[in-house]
Amino acid sequence: MAGLSNPQMDKIISLCRRRGFIFQSSEIYGGLNACYDYGPLGVELKRNIKNFWWKWMVERRSDIVGLDAAILMASRVWEASGHVSGFTDPLVDCKVCKHRFRSDLIAEPGKCPDCGGELTDIRQFNLMFKTFMGPLEDSASVVYLRPETAQGIYVNYQNVLDSTRQKIPFGIGQIGKAFRNEITPENFIFRTREFEQMEMQFFVKPGTDQEWFEYWKADRQEYYRRLGIRAEKMRFHPHGKDELAHYAAAAFDIEYEFPFGWKELEGIHNRTDFDLTRHKEFSGKDLTYFDEVTRERYMPYIIETSAGADRTVLCVLSDAYEEQKLEKDERTVLHFHPAIAPIKAGIFPLVKKDGMPEVAHRIEEKLRRHFPVFYDESAAVGRRYRRQDEIGTPYCITVDTETLQNETVTVRERDSMTQSRVKIDDLFLLIYNKINEGF
Ligand code: ATP
């Protein structure tokens, strides 16, 4: 797998593989570079992250609605957006070792970072994956795999306005796959060629755009705080004029300190009226907005918040991972927020007799109706705790002799490792409240 040079990353990658979070794609065929599959725990983690985002950005608010647009879109969309002509990265090759790089990411221009050899001149390389729709492979049937989910929102902006009661200011949120033929995929799932984005486009009246840009900067910082990411591992980087994309009047990166350094997790952009104006020109459809109260007509400005779902998975894994030395022991623990933990509770009978497994299974069945839990009766309870710590399970519930007398169980909390006695009937609410803490 990529990114093996960093010891902390090695540990995270190894845990991910060992416990079924993330596997290399097509592994039995030698693996497909920079493509990854989410295993049984990984799919839960990623889905929980996407649900957390959806809940925060869409469900919590009456001024944002959701969308799920197709990955394949008319090619004209990508001409209008500027991706066909301009979505390129500068590519260079080393004349000696033949390795390939993005020239803007090289520390010493003209010199190969791997062997010091001379580099070729820069060529512009388009990052969009191209394919053909239908049986003919000619230029008229070219379609692209979308390199961002945003355009699916822009081309549906009028449909959403016509089919809902939304009025400006309002937003459209979407989570979906995006594809970029990256020159140098890197660092495990940080930069891959197939990934998922969680994007929200907020349509505002020109003149109020800077105010909304500030609003979304603050709101998105709050979101990461609620997700439980350590504040000292996050920083915020406003783009200088020279760093701005062609469509943006202002941009702001939310960065996280990954084991391999500070890197972008999310971008917040003031995209002005660039996108809708271009789609108006290319489609011939009038995409201006008429404000019935002020009787004004204008082209809305757009504030975008664009986060990577896979990058967030790597962020929460890096942030949650800890190797702890205990008095007599050590443990690896993932301190996930209960909302995103793949398994919410481990359920153990203290011993495999005296009716304890039956009670534990009864609790398992009851809780499983609401969230994923894991029944485990093998090995000593200490070992069972360690297995759950390593995958970030926030609670372990043990059925013991006292349970048989008074219907209470021992609940052990992952981070503090403290134990308390809880009535079986109160378990659901205890865990439910923790999962929903932060909203
Ligand atoms: P970078 O500078 O890292 O290439 P970008 O500025 O091109 O990223 P955007 O186009 O703003 O990224 O995309 C928004 C978000 O989508 C990024 O903040 C990131 O979380 C995610 N993302 C972009 N490219 C990739 C990729 N190749 N793999 C995984 N996630 C990605």
DSSP secondary structure string for all residues of 313-335? HHHHHHHHEEEEE-SS-EEEEE-
> Measured between alpha carbons, how far is 39 from 21 in angstroms, rounded to an integer?
5
Q: What is the mean pLDDT of residues 364-387?
A: 96
- Probe ligand 1: pick from 197, 263, 266, 305, max atoms within 8 Å of CB? 197
Residue with CA nearest ligand 1 atom 6: 267
| Percentage of the residues of the chain whose pLDDT score is greater than 90 | 89
Residue with CA nearest ligand 1 atom 21: 308
What is the 308 CA–ligand 1 centroid distance (Å)?
A: 6
Pairing of strands 301-308, 296-298: unpaired
What is the 175 CA–ligand 1 centroid distance (Å)?
A: 14
Whether 284 has a pLDDT exceeding 60, the answer reads: yes
Residue with CA nearest ligand 1 atom 18: 266
Residue with CA nearest ligand 1 atom 8: 264
- Probe ligand 1: pick from 191, 220, 237, max atoms within 8 Å of CB? 191
> Measured between alpha carbons, how far is 190 from 34 in angstroms, rounded to an integer?
10
Q: Which pLDDT band holds residue 88 (cuts at 50, 70, 90)?
A: very high
Over the stretch 51-75, which tens digit does the pLDDT of each residue have?
Answer: 999 999 999 999 999 999 999 999 9
What is the 254 CA–ligand 1 centroid distance (Å)?
A: 11
Q: Which pLDDT band holds residue 438 (cuts at 50, 70, 90)?
A: confident
- State both tokens at 346: 């481990």
What is the 307 CA–ligand 1 centroid distance (Å)?
A: 8
Ligand 1 site: residues with CB under 6 angstroms? 148, 180, 182, 191-192, 195, 197, 264-267, 306-308, 310-311
137/20: higher pLDDT: 20
Q: What is the mean pLDDT of residues 347-358?
A: 96
8 A C-beta contact, residue 65 and residue 203: no
Whether 1 has a pLDDT exceeding 80, the answer reads: no
Lowest mean pLDDT among 176-180, 245-249, 253-257, 305-309: 245-249
| Percentage of the residues of the chain whose pLDDT score is greater than 70 | 99
- State both tokens at 106: 């090289």
Residue with CA nearest ligand 1 atom 27: 191
Largest CA distance in the chain: 79
- Give the atom of ligand 1 at the shortest distance from the alpha carbon of 180: 27
Whether 318 has a pLDDT exceeding 60, the answer reads: yes
Residue type, 102: R
Q: Across the chain, what does the average pLDDT equal?
A: 95
Q: Which pLDDT band holds residue 4 (cuts at 50, 70, 90)?
A: very low
What is the 197 CA–ligand 1 centroid distance (Å)?
A: 8
- Give the atom of ligand 1 at the shortest distance from the alpha carbon of 197: 16
Q: Which pLDDT band holds residue 322 (cuts at 50, 70, 90)?
A: very high
8 A C-beta contact, residue 112 and residue 126: no
Q: Which pLDDT band holds residue 2 (cuts at 50, 70, 90)?
A: very low
- Give the atom of ligand 1 at the shortest distance from the alpha carbon of 253: 18
From the number of C-beta atoms within 10 Å of its C-beta (0-12, 13-18, 19+), residue 242 rates as: exposed
- Give the fold, CATH level 3, of 7-76+146-317: BirA Bifunctional Protein; domain 2 (3.30.930)
Over the stretch 237-263, which tens digit does the pLDDT of each residue have?
Answer: 999 888 888 788 899 999 999 999 999
Residue the block writes with tokens 């919590």: 60
> Measured between alpha carbons, how far is 195 from 173 in angstroms, rounded to an integer?
17
Over the stretch 186-215, which tens digit does the pLDDT of each residue have?
Answer: 899 999 999 999 999 999 999 999 999 999
377/329: higher pLDDT: 377
What is the 34 CA–ligand 1 centroid distance (Å)?
A: 14
8 A C-beta contact, residue 72 and residue 56: no
What is the 312 CA–ligand 1 centroid distance (Å)?
A: 11
Write down the pTM of the prediction. Answer: 0.94
Pairing of strands 170-179, 64-67: parallel
Domain boundaries in the chain? 7-76+146-317, 343-435
Output the CATH code of domain 343-435: 3.40.50.800
Residue with CA nearest ligand 1 atom 11: 267
> Measured between alpha carbons, how far is 433 from 416 in angstroms, rounded to an integer?
18
Strands (E), 162-227: 170-179, 194-204
